[in-house]
């Protein structure tokens, strides 16, 4: 019963994300209102206000009289796009470094892992703010900064998985057959560690969304007239007492999207648990067999 | 006298243990000055308890790990002097069968790809059709149904998996097979089947085999000569009949005593004989000084 309910939840979460993506992309093709044109007569109207367009302002309007739903969907494109792109960049980078560190060991491993430690010891938001302050805010810079602050998560996890794979006999078997390093890594090791890394990437997507929202909220992320969910929160804050819908809907959007992504990630993780058990975690403490750790929930 | 196919001389492997942050650095001598040779078509048993350095010897010979000292000559070539692709080409004639058939097969690959991998790596029998034909041939040779090509290792039992591992090792037509306790993790009933398979293959293909085992029970049937290892050293090496009939070292005698006899009365007699032997050994001077496995070298 429990798994059924969980799967139902996962189905709802996946459905929500699909609808969100379709709506966000679809609003490029057809949209009842323009996301950039102000309409001063319609400032801060509550949800369901009648409009001069084909449909009412379903979620109300913002301080410049623009339709909030349309703005929200435009923000979704930017927020999700940044999230995906930065996961891709940081994931590729960290994954490759983790492969190298875990396979060759020695000084390469030491160098990469000390870099990881260095990065982990500095708060990532601080680095992000600093870099964005120097480079100036733009969408590409935000992607870059997000990638810089999160690559080490993949490096750690990938390295750990590589270390445990190195002990497997089939890796030794491949080498004794004469497989080169590249063949051993990409034909035998990568396919066996891809699933947990992909689960991690899904989780990281949610982290990226939240970080981008924080950066934009602090004014160093997306710049007006473009919008992202974090920026909309920041702009709506001034009207918190008079126009609740300005912060509620972007906030809900962030909450529901990250929640959905996390649910899907958890489900994926449970599904691939034969290879990824105990290998994810926070990346800070990696539980080993024999350690007193919390028992995994009985299935 | 014929030229040996494999000649190992003075093979030594030391592992650093401890060390770092002011602690004393020690070395564990896992393999200590081991020498042996294998003639073409000969089966050499390498027997010893856990931790006696059998597997490390095998991995050094295969050059999966670098030995500290010593030479390994395979088919007249000094394997340790070669590098990279040249070394891999020479080593092609020497293949390994691993102990644990559960972790020695890549769980994500199909049986066909597992067995054909060596051929792909060394570009022999290029063309998918030629390779597939060879894989079918090999499956038949090791006693598996040739239409199981597209299954994955999870669909096979332990014995069947070990047969797949053997087929993989045979795919490159090796002259020498190194088998690292290939039956140790199998059921007893399956063990006999696999041992017979080795025997048949050896006769059919004229293979040389280095057969590693932890007890003398399984090797008697298969091996021409037997080397007994303990604490990284070869205690005794000799013909099978000499090892069983007139063992020279105390350790070999102990190993022979440890082989159970499937007859309760004779087994009890044997145990009593063994106890008497041990009492005698205790009373008299020690027959052998145990070799220290850990040589300590204090760091300045």
**For chain A, which domains are there?**
77-246 (1.10.3720.10)
Strands B233-239, B225-230: pairing is antiparallel
A contact residues 137-176, partner B, Cβ 8 Å cutoff: 168-170, 172-176
Which of A168, A169, A183 lies nearest to residue B121, judging by beta carbons?
A: A183
Predicted pLDDT at B211: 92
Our CA-based measurement puts residue A112 at a distance from the nearest CA of chain B, in whole angstroms, of 20
Tokens of residue A195, six digits: 């699933």
pLDDT digits (tens, 9 = 90+) for A220-252: 878 777 888 888 888 888 888 888 888 888 888
CB contact under 8 A, A176 and B107: no
CATH fold for domain B6-93+174-296: Rossmann fold (3.40.50)
Predicted pLDDT at B65: 87
- Over residues A284-294, the mean pLDDT reads 40
Average model confidence (pLDDT) across chain A? 81
Which of B92, B105, B168 lies nearest to residue A178, judging by beta carbons?
A: B92
Predicted pLDDT at A60: 77
Predicted pLDDT at A136: 82
pLDDT classification of A292: cutoffs 50, 70, 90: very low
Q: Compute the distance between CA of residue A97 and CA of residue A154 in angstroms, rounded to an integer.
A: 9
Predicted pLDDT at B44: 92
pLDDT digits (tens, 9 = 90+) for A109-126: 999 999 999 888 888 788
Beta-bridged to residue B5, according to DSSP, are none
Q: Where are the domains of chain B?
A: 6-93+174-296
Asked if B154 has any chain A CB less than 8 Å from its own CB, the reply is no
Q: What percent of chain B has pLDDT over 90?
A: 14
Predicted pLDDT at A111: 92
Predicted pLDDT at A299: 41
- The answer to which of A85-89, A149-153, A203-207, B256-260 has the lowest mean pLDDT is B256-260
Chain B positions in Cβ-Cβ contact with residue A192 (cut-off 8 Å): 106-108
Which of B62, B100, B107 lies nearest to residue A176, judging by beta carbons?
A: B62
Tokens 């290029």 belong to residue? B126
pLDDT classification of A287: cutoffs 50, 70, 90: very low
CA-based nearest residue in chain B for residue A179: B121
**CB of A234 closer than 8 Å to CB of A216:** yes
Predicted pLDDT at B147: 81
Predicted pLDDT at B19: 60
- Over residues A92-120, the mean pLDDT reads 91
Predicted pLDDT at B233: 87
Asked if A183 has any chain B CB less than 8 Å from its own CB, the reply is yes
Our CA-based measurement puts residue A8 at a distance from the nearest CA of chain B, in whole angstroms, of 29
Our CA-based measurement puts residue A191 at a distance from the nearest CA of chain B, in whole angstroms, of 7
Q: Which is higher by pLDDT, A292 or A261?
A: A261
Predicted pLDDT at A149: 87
Asked if A106 has any chain B CB less than 8 Å from its own CB, the reply is no
Strands B6-18, B77-78: pairing is unpaired
Asked if B98 has any chain A CB less than 8 Å from its own CB, the reply is yes
Tell me the CB-side half-sphere exposure of residue B241, using CA atoms within 13 A.
0
CB contact under 8 A, A177 and B117: yes
ipTM for the predicted complex comes to 0.78
CA-based nearest residue in chain A for residue B63: A176
B contact residues 53-82, partner A, Cβ 8 Å cutoff: 59, 62, 64
CB contact under 8 A, B118 and A192: no
**CB of A215 closer than 8 Å to CB of A124:** no
Q: What percent of chain A has pLDDT over 70?
A: 88
Checking if the pLDDT of A97 tops 90, the result is yes
In chain A the first and final C-alpha atoms are separated, in Å, by: 11
**CB of A185 closer than 8 Å to CB of A99:** yes
Predicted pLDDT at A162: 92
Give φ, ψ of B235 to 5 degrees: -80, -35
Q: Compute the distance between CA of residue A78 and CA of residue A85 in angstroms, rounded to an integer.
A: 10
Chain A positions in Cβ-Cβ contact with residue B62 (cut-off 8 Å): 176
Q: What percent of chain A has pLDDT over 90?
A: 12
Q: Which is higher by pLDDT, B167 or A137?
A: B167
Predicted pLDDT at B290: 46
Q: Compute the distance between CA of residue A160 and CA of residue A183 in angstroms, rounded to an integer.
A: 20
pTM: 0.75
CA-based nearest residue in chain B for residue A192: B108
Asked if A191 has any chain B CB less than 8 Å from its own CB, the reply is yes
Which of B104, B158, B184 to mutate to probe the A interface, most A CBs <10 Å? Answer: B104
CB contact under 8 A, A174 and B117: yes
CB contact under 8 A, A179 and B107: no
Chain B positions in Cβ-Cβ contact with residue A175 (cut-off 8 Å): 64
CA-based nearest residue in chain B for residue A172: B64
C-alpha separations of A207 from A87, A260, A266 in Å: 9, 12, 14
Predicted pLDDT at B165: 92
Tell me the CB-side half-sphere exposure of residue B132, using CA atoms within 13 A.
8
Predicted pLDDT at B279: 73
pLDDT digits (tens, 9 = 90+) for A154-178: 999 999 999 988 888 899 899 888 8
Mean pLDDT in runs of 10 for chain B (300 residues)?
A: 84 79 74 90 88 88 88 87 84 90 87 90 84 90 86 87 92 91 85 88 90 84 88 86 81 78 74 73 54 43
């Amino acid at each position: 019963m429990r798994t059924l309910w969980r799967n139902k939840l996962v189905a709802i979460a996946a459905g929500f994300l699909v609808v969100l993506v379709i709506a966000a992309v679809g609003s490029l093709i057809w949209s009842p209102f323009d996301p950039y044109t102000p309409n001063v007569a319609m400032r801060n109207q509550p949800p369901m206000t009648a409009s001069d367009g084909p449909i009412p302002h379903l979620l109300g309007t913002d301080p410049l009289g623009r339709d909030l739903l349309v703005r929200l969907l435009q923000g979704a494109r930017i927020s999700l796009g940044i999230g995906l792109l930065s996961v891709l960049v940081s994931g590729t980078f960290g994954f490759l470094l983790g492969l190298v560190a875990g396979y060759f060991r020695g000084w390469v491993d030491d160098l990469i892992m000390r870099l990881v430690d260095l990065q982990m010891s500095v708060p990532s938001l601080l680095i992000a703010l600093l870099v964005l302050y120097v480079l100036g805010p733009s969408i590409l810079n935000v992607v870059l900064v997000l990638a810089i602050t999160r690559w080490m998560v993949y490096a750690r996890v990938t390295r750990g998985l590589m270390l445990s794979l190195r002990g497997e006999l089939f890796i030794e078997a491949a080498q004794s057959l004469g497989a080169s390093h590249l063949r051993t890594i990409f034909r035998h090791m990568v396919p066996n560690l891809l699933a947990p890394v992909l689960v991690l990437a899904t989780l990281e997507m949610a982290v990226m969304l939240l970080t981008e929202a924080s950066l934009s909220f602090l004014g160093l992320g997306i710049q007006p007239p473009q919008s992202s969910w974090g920026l909309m929160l920041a702009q709506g804050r001034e009207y918190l007492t008079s126009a609740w819908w300005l912060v509620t809907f972007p906030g809900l959007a962030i909450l529901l999207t990250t929640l959905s992504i996390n649910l899907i990630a958890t489900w994926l993780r449970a599904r691939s648990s034969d290879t990824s058990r105990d290998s994810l975690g926070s990346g800070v403490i990696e539980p080993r067999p024999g350690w007193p750790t919390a028992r995994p929930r009985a299935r | 006298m014929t030229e040996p196919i494999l000649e190992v001389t003075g093979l030594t492997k030391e592992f650093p243990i401890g060390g770092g942050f002011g602690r004393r650095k020690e070395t564990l001598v896992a393999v200590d000055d081991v020498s042996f040779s294998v003639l073409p078509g000969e089966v050499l048993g390498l027997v010893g308890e856990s931790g006696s350095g059998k597997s490390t010897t095998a991995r050094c010979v295969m050059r999966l790990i670098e030995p500290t000292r010593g030479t390994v000559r395979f088919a007249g070539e000094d394997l340790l002097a070669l590098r990279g692709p040249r070394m891999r080409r020479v080593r092609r004639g020497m293949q390994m069968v691993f102990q644990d058939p559960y972790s020695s097969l890549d769980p994500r690959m199909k049986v066909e790809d597992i067995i054909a991998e060596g051929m792909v790596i060394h570009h022999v029998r290029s063309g998918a059709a030629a390779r597939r034909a060879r894989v079918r041939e090999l499956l038949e040779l090791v006693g598996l149904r040739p239409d199981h090509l597209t299954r994955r290792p999870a669909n096979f039992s332990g014995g069947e998996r070990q047969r797949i591992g053997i087929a993989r090792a045979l795919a490159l037509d090796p002259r020498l097979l190194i088998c690292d306790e290939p039956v140790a993790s199998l059921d007893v009933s399956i063990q006999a089947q696999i041992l017979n398979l080795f025997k048949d293959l050896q006769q059919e293909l004229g293979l040389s085999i280095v057969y590693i085992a932890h007890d003398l029970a399984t090797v008697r049937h298969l091996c021409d000569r037997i080397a007994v290892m303990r604490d990284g050293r070869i205690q005794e090496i000799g013909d099978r009949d000499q090892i069983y009939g007139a063992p020279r070292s105390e350790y070999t005698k102990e190993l022979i005593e440890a082989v159970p006899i499937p007859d309760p009365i004779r087994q009890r007699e044997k145990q009593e004989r063994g106890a008497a032997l041990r009492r005698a050994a205790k009373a008299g001077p020690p027959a052998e000084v145990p070799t220290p496995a850990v040589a300590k070298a204090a760091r300045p």
